[in-house]
Structure 1
Amino acid sequence: MSMHPKPESQVPEETARVARAAFPKGNDYLTMRDELEMIYTDSQFASLFSQRGQSAQSPWLLAMVTILQFAEGLSDRQAADAVRSRIDWKYLLGLALEDAGFDFSVLSEFRDRLIAGKMEQQLLDHRLIRFRERGLLKARGKQRTDSTHVQSAIRNLNRLELVGETMRHALNTLAVSSPVWLKAHVPSEWYERYGPRFEQSRLPQKEMERENLALQIGQDGRQLMLWAYETEAPEMIRKAPAVETLRCIWVQQYYIQDEAIFWVPSDNTPPAELAIQSPYDPEARFSIKRQTEWLGYKAHLTETCDEDQPHLITHVATTVSTVQDEQMTAAIHQVLEDKDLLPKEHLLDRGYVDTKVLIDSRERHGIEVIGPIKVDTTWQAQAGKGFDVSCFTIDWERQKVTCPKGRVSQVWTENSTDKAGNPRIYVRFAKSSCQNCSARADYTRSVEGPRTLSFKPKEQYELLQWARQREHTPEFKKLYAKRAGIEGTISQGTRSCGLRRSRYIGQTKTHLQHILIAIAINLARFVDWIHQVPRAATRTSAFAALAHA
Structure 2
Amino acid sequence: MLAGVTLLQFMEKVPDRVAAEHVVHHLGWKYALDLELTYGGFHPTVLVYFRDRLEEKGEERVIFDGVLELLIELGLVKRRGKQRLDSTHVLGYVKQMSWLECAQRTLGLALEALESVVPGAERPGFWERLWACYVEGELDWRLSEAESKERYWQCGQDMGELLRWATQKSPELGELHALKLLQRVFEEQFEMVEGRLQPRLRRVKGAVQNPYDPDAHFADKGSKKWVGYKVHVVESVDPTEPAKVKGEAGEHFITEIITTEAAQDEMSGLAEALNRQERHHGIKPEAIYTDAGYVTERTLTEAEQNGIELLGPTRPDPHPGPYNTDAFSVDIENKQAVCPQGNVSTQWSRIRDSYQGTEYYRIEWAGQCDSCVIQRQCTRSRNGRRLLVLGLRHDLVEKRRRQMKEADFSKKMHPRNGIEGTLSELVRGHQLRRTKYRGMKRVRLSHYLMGAACNVKRYVNLMAFQMSRAALQAA
TM over 0.5: yes
Equivalent AA in structure 2 for residue 437 of structure 1: C
Structure 1 residues 114-145: Cα deviation after superposition (integer angstroms, max 9, x where no partner): 11112122222222222222222222111111
Q: Distance in 2 between matches of 1:406 and 1:469?
A: 20
Residue 393 of structure 1: which of 313, 326, 329 is its match?
Answer: 329
Query: 2:342 matched to 1:406?
Result: yes
Give the aligned partner of residue 337 of structure 1. 278
Equivalent AA in structure 1 for residue 380 of structure 2: R
Q: Distance in 2 between matches of 1:310 and 1:224?
A: 59
Q: How does 1:52-451 map to 2 (within 5 A)?
A: 61-178=1-118, 180=120, 186-196=126-136, 198-199=138-139, 202-230=140-168, 232-233=169-170, 235=172, 237-256=173-192, 260-264=196-200, 266-267=201-202, 269-270=203-204, 272=205, 274-306=206-238, 307=241, 310-338=251-279, 339-364=281-306, 366-380=307-321, 386-394=322-330, 399-417=335-353, 421-430=357-366, 432-446=367-381, 448-451=383-386
**What's the offset of the Cα at 1:521?**
0.1
1:165–1:197 Cα contact (<8 Å) kept: no
Q: Distance in 1 between matches of 2:380 and 2:138?
A: 49
Equivalent AA in structure 2 for residue 346 of structure 1: I
Q: Distance in 1 between matches of 2:403 and 2:16?
A: 50
2:317–2:326 Cα contact (<8 Å) kept: no
Residue 485 of structure 1: which of 418, 424, 448 is its match?
Answer: 418
Q: How does 1:9-48 map to 2 (within 5 A)?
A: none
Q: Distance in 1 between matches of 2:171 and 2:365?
A: 67
Give the alignment's Cα RMSD to 1 decimal: 2.5
Give the aligned partner of residue 25 of structure 1. none
TM-score w.r.t. structure 2 length? 0.89
Equivalent AA in structure 2 for residue 340 of structure 1: G
TM-score w.r.t. structure 1 length? 0.77
Give the aligned partner of residue 473 of structure 2. none
**Residue 127 of structure 2 aligns to a residue in which SS?**
coil
**Residue 352 of structure 1 aligns to a residue in which SS?**
coil
Structure 1 residues 89-116: Cα deviation after superposition (integer angstroms, max 9, x where no partner): 2221223344332221111111010111
**What's the offset of the Cα at 1:442?**
2.6
Equivalent AA in structure 2 for residue 443 of structure 1: C
Q: Distance in 2 between matches of 1:112 and 1:429?
A: 63
Q: 1:122 to 1:181 in 2, by over 3 A?
A: farther
Could you tell me which runs of 5 or more consecutive residues in structure 1 were left unpaired when the two chains were aligned. Answer: 1-60, 381-385, 535-549
**What's the offset of the Cα at 1:510?**
0.6
Structure 1 residues 52-105: Cα deviation after superposition (integer angstroms, max 9, x where no partner): xxxxxxxxx221222222222222223223323322222212233443322211
**What's the offset of the Cα at 1:420?**
5.8
**Residue 317 of structure 2 aligns to a residue in which SS?**
coil
